[in-house]
Structure 1
Amino acid sequence: MAQTILSRVFRKFDIFGSEVGLNFQKSTIFQTQFGALISLIFTSLMLLFFWNNFLQFFNKDTVNVKIDQSFDHNPSKINLNQKNFMFAVRVIQDDFINNPYFNISFYSRNRIFSEKHQNSEQIIEMLLEPCTLAHWVDLQAYNIDWKQVFDEKGLDQYLCPPLNEQYYVQGAWGLESYDQLMLKIKKCTTIQFKSEKWRPKCRKKEELEKIFIEDQNKYFEVEIFVPNYAVNPNLSKNYITSYLNTADLFFYIQPGKFLKKVELFLSEFNIFTDESLMPYEDINNQNFPYIQLSGFRESNLLGNYDEYLDIQINRSYYTNNIYRKFQKIDEIIAYVGGFAQAFLIFSAFLVSYYNEYIYMIELANKLYDFDLDEGNNVKKQNKNFFNIKEKQQQQYIQSINSIVNEKNKNVENINKNINNQQEKEVKILTLKQKKIQFQIEKKYKKKQYKKQVNILIRIEHLKYKKQYQYQQHQNNQNDKKDRKKFLAKEFEHIIQRNKSLQINIFYFINQITCGKFCRTKTVLLIEKAQEQIKKDLDIFNILNKIKEIEKFKQIFLTQSQMILFNFFPKTVIQVKENDTKELSRVFISEDRFKELAKKNTTQQQKMRVYLRLYEAYEEICQEKEKNEINNKLIDMLGFEMRNIFEKSKFINFKRNPILALKMNQQQSPKKKNNIQIIN
């Protein structure tokens, strides 16, 4: 009991329950060719309009981009090495690498600021060296060939940072840790060159004095080439382009006149790309430093300084974060679904209206017949009937006339013979000279002759009678043939006669114009058929008809007959056609037996149900008058139940009905019976 209640409660949590509905033409939905055509048009339009979107989706051409420029008052560290950062610097002069006027130094400076103002500073010089291809080939190359750039720009005449060195920038002035890079240009002194890779020989002292003392108005141009990156995140592929900046970083120095101070800011690109097309993330992270060419600061300090150019490379306060993701499958479904829904709203209204119209027509054609053109049909039937009757009468008259003419002809021949004979007799009688004996003989011959004539007449009469009967039989056969032809034509006319409603454009015009136009007879019949179908399918009418059937059962069947009527066997559907087998019994009784249908019904209660069924069977069998309904009800019990009841006639159920029922069950094949009691 508790398990049954728990099972019923647990079934309530099924959110995927199947809807129970009726079928029409072996289907739960009604479909038409027009609906299929609209569906094909819809599919074709969707493929036509969104084919490019699908291609872009699979080719990853659609990218959603979010750019975030974050600010940090204490900028994070950027590690620099030959794989992500490089520069080339020189002073434009003749033979700078071998015989320069100036010395270019590269430093890494670290400053530590404490709250107690105990500041410390550490400067590390990193000796520059002539640029080689090895300085550039390890850089991140996006749509660029650094070897080609190296050869085209002649970078072997420039100085580069040393290979295999690590340096970094971070923080800002006044913070706990502040790291920066410095590039200084001074007067060339040979003693300061300690690098093994670059050992230039400075200009002679006279040349240096001429430049720095005598010709103080002379300017020198300093070139700095740095690799940089252009990022276009909206592109699906090749969205990063590397290039060598050769136009933005150049400075003029004038020895002995001023000190040029330049602050360059090094920022970082963080590009996060979600490579997945499914609703989960597959992040590919790319990061590389770049110099903000539009944000450097430049100032000139007038005076005679030992340094002519001081370039400081600091960490920028800003970091560019770019978030890229390709169009995912749920997004394209939502995108296409929006347009599809808009189209479906219109097409669903159109198709549903059309399908409802066709559904009503087909259902009406199966249920009703229609008076489309009954007058013409009656005229055709009458014309067919009169044609056949007229043909029958003509054939009958012709047959009678032929028989009468033939009979008259035979009678005329006989009369003619008789007249000839009478003439001969007259001639004989006139002969007075013949003897009396001859007259007697003549009289005798005359009697014999009349006798023969009568015999011939009877023979002819029988012959005519047989001929008439044969002709009458032929006429009857012709009548049957004509009747068959008449029925065949009538049935053919009924079959060919179209009394069903068909698709009619006038109905749609009538509906569009709100019933103002095209109110033809067919349109009126369709409207009336729709009203009738709605009336017949109304749940109230259906239930009312079911109640009427129950009333008929109450009127025409006795209580015992109803018990047998409500008991019927189930059948098993097998693979072989027309092969059914009784599997179980379903007992449907009155309201007082409803509770017995529950699964927790005891064995004794089930026994009482079958005993009540047997009592009804016995009452019907004891009726003196045999009733056809009773015989049919008994046959509906099935072979097994009839066999049990017939054997039970020899057992006294009143003494021990349960024991007797068990004995009957042992004699019959063991079958599992499902007992259901339904009102």
Structure 2
Amino acid sequence: MIGNFNLRKIDIFGKNISIRFQQKEKHQTIFGATITFFIYIILAYLMISQFIELFQGNNPKLQYRIQYIEANRIFKIKQNDFYFALALRNNQELPVFDQKIYNITAQQVIGRRTSPESTLTYQFYDIEMEQCNTNSFGYDKLIKLFNVNFNNLYCIKNDQPIIYDIEIGGDIDNTYFSYIQINVNKCQQNINCIDKNDEKYDQYFKNPQLMIYFSDKYFDIQQKGYPFKNISRRLKFNSNDNLLKVINLYLIDNYIVSEEGIINNLKKTTYQNITYSQYEINTNSNTLFQLNIQFEDKQLNFWNRRYLKIEEVLGTLGGSFQSLFTIGIIFCYPISQFDLNRKLINQLFQFQIEKFGKKRKKPYQQQKSQIQNAKLQSNLNNIQQFNQESPKQNQFEQKSSNNCFKYKKYIKKKSIQINQQENQIQQSQSIFIRIKNYIQYSFSLLYSKQLNIENTIQAQKSNQKQNLNQLYLNSLKSQIKKIKFKFIEYIRYLYCPSKQLKIKKLQIQKGKQILYNHLDIFYIIKKITELDKLKTILLNQNQLKLFEYLPKPIIYLNKNSEKGNYQLYQEKKTEEEKAFEAFQAFQEINKDIHKQTELDKKIIEIIDPQILKSFEQQTIDQKRNNHYSPKLVEISLNNQLNSKFSRYQHSQLIQLEAENQKKQENEQNNIDEHKAGYQIDLKQLIFTNQLAQKLQILNKK
């Protein structure tokens, strides 16, 4: 702070403050993410291709223009710049070197004048021509370019003084100009020349053909370092015996400026290429062809070769991104805005969703039917298991009762002989101990099996409870009616409205209108003011002052430490967690109706009627399930234990009966022994009946 000036006010990098939705600064959709992904792919492709072109320099931009200048320029012929050869061709299209038929002469023509108004004076300097050989002017270059027999061609003789001073240039209207003139003449001065009546005369001179072989240069814009290529050119000219063919070869300067380098680097080079023109003159002279080699000093071909620069790459990528981003906004922004409105409206409101055509059951009724079917199936399974055990138990009980009746009759009949069996008491006692141990062992097996059955049933009850809770949760979620849209419906809603979406469109528009009214700044300020008024009504002045200093929530890294913390900033919960907690809270409030406060009753009254109905139905179903399931389990266990105990009792009685019959047949004289045995049987029967009663009492507990 400097005086009254706050330095922070000049910060241009400050972060804008915005309200978040679902912990995000902006709402994002799958459609927008897909379009963004394709934009990134296109930009990546452009970036890779642009950088490849930047470093390789394969496609420069080329500008060409013809520039005319006033200065007189002179070009000095060198072997590396220009070399040529020429000859007449016969009717077999082959060059011929025969001085008896024709000869070629060359000279440098120089024109001078003292002033533009003065008379032009000419000077001629002969240039000797010879049959091409290894010492000829430019022969080593020509032999590489052309596949022809150069021994039949004319070349400039190399070892002559003028060859080093041949200059061409200027203009006839100026004070100085120079060019090379080459004449192709018929043979006349030599006594060995062919006669006009000779066959060869018409072959060469009736329709004479002149071939010129020369080097030229080609500008290859793809070559970055040295853009010139030496190329071979052939020019063929036809004439007539009574005509003079005048051929003008023009050497033209080409000026090339190459902007190379990633940032900027100018490179300037020059080269000459050749153009030509021709015309004919009626004459009776011996000259067939006249070749004039000139330098075009007034014309300049200007080439500007510009390679890609780093700033152009960045500009191209930036422009492409802006274009693609604009296209994406046109398509994605309406869908994103519409989807955001839909989610906000679904969070705040419910809708009465109607279907055209077929009538469907309410989701709550369907879920309730599923819950009842699940409980009914579980109870039927328990009853079926109980019924499967009942016939066996009845059979065992009937056999046991019949055996008991037989034994009562048998014991009564043999009671007279009991006193005679006292000598067998000790032996029967040992048998009784073995039977007692066997019954105790059987009882321990039954007890362990009972525990296993109880654990299994408890696990089944737990799974059944989880399944029922999931069904109740689905039932609760089905009560919340939201507007859902498929992707194709988004497109049809925004760009191609249809009658099928008319109801959804009206619901969205109405919900959006209410939503925007709630998001209005005036509405927000009004609600904040009402909240302050409510605080003044509920709290006095002292309480209001203390209210400002309520403890702030503490952020713990350990979740176990947050138990005593205020639940002002809770973590985001799923719909399942919220529904489960709401149902638990409803059960806690509804546990004791007499202890409900007025606020509890008021909250229950204003709950969504469908959700309240679902909570009440779920509470009733849980109580019913907890009541009937243990009863069925208890009946099933008791029947199983009684059945197994009766089975053990019945087997012991049959064994004792067989032993007594055997003793009666074999030991008729031992009455005392049988008496003791029957007495022990009676005690055993009493013991087993007492043990069965104890097991039944234990099962009830």
Distance 2:127 2:334 in 1: 84
Flag structure 1 segments of 5+ consecutive residues without an equivalent: 140-145, 189-202, 389-480, 581-679
Distance 2:225 2:516 in 1: 62
* Partner SS, residue 358 of structure 1: helix
**Is the aligned partner of 1:517 residue 2:500?**
yes
How far off its partner does 1:159 sit? 0.9
Contact 1:66 1:322 in 2 (8 A): yes
Q: Establish whether residue 224 from structure 1 lines up as the match of residue 212 from structure 2.
A: yes
What's the offset of the Cα at 1:87? 1.3
- Which residue identity is paired with 1:248? K
| Partner of residue 174, structure 1 | 173
Aligned to 1:353: 334
* 1:313 to 2:293 alignment: yes
1:245 aligned partner, one-letter code:
R
Are 2:192 and 1:207 equivalent residues in the alignment? yes
Aligned equivalents of 2:322 and 2:342: distance in 1? 29
After superposition, the Cα gap between the structure-2 partners of 1:556 and 1:161, relative to the gap in structure 1 and judged at 3 Å, is farther
**Superposition pairs for residues 42-121 of structure 1, below 5 Å?**
62=59, 64-74=61-71, 76-90=73-87, 96=97, 102=103, 104-107=105-108, 109=110, 111=112, 113-114=114-115, 117=118
- Residues 571, 267 of structure 1: CA spacing in aligned structure 2 closer, same or farther, 3 A cutoff? farther
TM-superposition CA deviations, 1:338-366 (whole Å, max 9, x none): 88777655553332222223222333444
Scaled by the length of structure 2, the TM-score of the pair is 0.49
Q: Is the Cα contact below 8 Å between 2:100 and 2:190 reproduced in 1?
A: no
Shift in alpha-carbon separation, 1:576–1:320, aligned structure 2, 3 A: farther
**Compared with structure 1, are the counterparts of its residues 372 and 105 closer, same or farther at alpha carbon in structure 2 (3 Å cutoff)?**
closer
- How many Å apart are 1:551 and its aligned residue? 3.5
Q: Structure 2 vs 1, CA of residues 308 and 381 (structure 1 numbering), >3 Å: closer, same or farther?
A: closer
Cα RMSD between the aligned structures? 5.9
Task: Report if aligned partners of 1:261, 1:309 keep a CA contact under 8 Å in 2.
Answer: yes
Amino acid at match of 2:170: G
1:538 to 520, 544, 547: 520
**Do 1:78 and 1:169's aligned partners in 2 also have CA atoms closer than 8 Å?**
yes
Cα deviations across residues 127-176 of structure 1 (Å, max 9, x unaligned)? 4455456855886xxxxxx5443443426743136388364433211224
Q: Distance in 2 between matches of 1:372 and 1:577?
A: 42
The whole-number CA distance in structure 2 between the counterparts of 1:111 and 1:74 is 16
Summarize deviations over 1:312-348 as a string: whole Å, max 9, x none.
3222243333334456677788788888777655553
SS at match of 1:349: helix
Asked if the contact 2:368–2:475 (Cα under 8 Å) also holds between the matched residues in 1, the reply is: no
Matching residue within 272, 279, 289 for 1:289: 272
Whole-angstrom distance in 2 between the partners of 1:349 and 1:272: 44
C-alpha distance 548-80 of structure 1, shift in aligned 2 (>3 A): farther
Q: Is the 8 A contact 1:74 1:175 kept in 2?
A: no
Partner of 2:670: none
C-alpha separation between the residues in 1 aligned to 2:36 and 2:327? 12
Change (3 A) 1:151 1:90: same
Which string of whole-angstrom CA distances, capped at 9 and with x for unpartnered residues, describes residues 498-524 of structure 1? 51525324676566565743445x665
The yes-or-no answer on 1:24 pairing with 2:34 is no
Instruction: Tell me how far 1:89 sits from its aligned partner.
Output: 3.2
Letter in 1 for 2:32: G
Q: Indicate how the Cα distance of structure 1 residues 365 and 28 shifts in structure 2: closer, same or farther if over 3 A, else same.
A: same
The amino acid of 1:68's aligned partner reads: R
CA distance in 2, matches of 1:37, 1:283: 44
Matched, 1:159 2:152: no
Within 1, Cα distance between the matches of 2:264 and 2:341? 52
What secondary structure is seen at the aligned counterpart in 2 of 1:549? helix
Corresponding position: 1:268 with 2:256: no
Per-residue deviation, 1:530: 2.7
In the alignment, is residue 377 of structure 1 matched against residue 364 of structure 2? Answer: yes
The amino acid that maps onto 2:25 is T
| Matched position secondary structure for 2:20 | coil
Q: Secondary structure at the match of 1:269?
A: strand
Percent identical residues = 18
How far 1:490 moved relative to its partner? Answer: 8.9
**Structure 2 counterpart SS, 1:535:** helix
Partner SS, residue 292 of structure 1: strand
Relative to structure 1, is the Cα distance of residues 187 and 359 closer, same or farther in structure 2, using a 3 angstrom cutoff? closer
Match of 1:663?
A: none
Secondary structure of the residue that 2:301 maps to in structure 1?
Answer: strand
Calculate the TM-score normalised by the size of structure 1: 0.50
- Go from structure 1 to structure 2 and tell me whether the alpha carbon gap of 1:251 and 1:290 turns closer, same or farther (over 3 Å shift): farther
Q: Is the 8 A contact 1:109 1:182 kept in 2?
A: no
The amino acid across from 1:318 in the alignment is Q
Distance in 2, Cα, partners of 1:4 & 1:336: 46
Closer, same or farther: CA 517–343 of 1 in aligned 2, 3 Å: farther
In 1, are the aligned partners of 2:108 and 2:166 still within 8 Å (CA)?
A: no
Residue type of the partner of 1:536? H
Q: Aligned pair in 2 of structure 1 residues 7, 327: CA closer, same or farther (>3 Å)?
A: same
Letter in 2 for 1:104: T
Query: Structure 1 residues 132, 578: closer, same or farther in 2, change over 3 A?
Result: farther
Task: Find the counterpart in structure 1 of residue 7 from structure 2.
Answer: 7
Aligned residue for 1:248, secondary structure, equals strand
Q: Please name the residue that 1:652 is paired with.
A: none
Counterpart of 2:272, as a letter, is: P
**How many Å apart are 1:207 and its aligned residue?**
2.1
Q: In the superposition, relative to structure 1, how do residues 338 and 488 fare at CA in structure 2: closer, same or farther (>3 Å)?
A: closer
| 1:31, distance to aligned residue in structure 2 (A) | 1.2
* 8 A Cα contact 1:182 1:311, kept in partner: yes
- The within-5 A match list for 1:431-510 is 492=473, 495-497=476-478, 499=480, 501=482, 503-505=484-486, 509=492
Task: Give the aligned partner of residue 475 of structure 1.
Answer: none
Corresponding residue of 1:590: none
Instruction: Judge conservation of contact 2:216–2:273 (CA < 8 Å) in 1.
Output: yes
Distance 1:563 1:114, change over 3 A: farther
Distance, in Å, in 1 between the alignment partners of 2:178 and 2:9 is 71
Within-5 A mapping of 1:365-404: 365-368=346-349, 377=364
- Which of the pair has the greater relative contact order for Cα pairs under 8 Å at 6+ separation? 2
Q: 2:43 & 2:8 partners in 1: Cα distance?
A: 45
Structure number with the higher helix fraction is 2
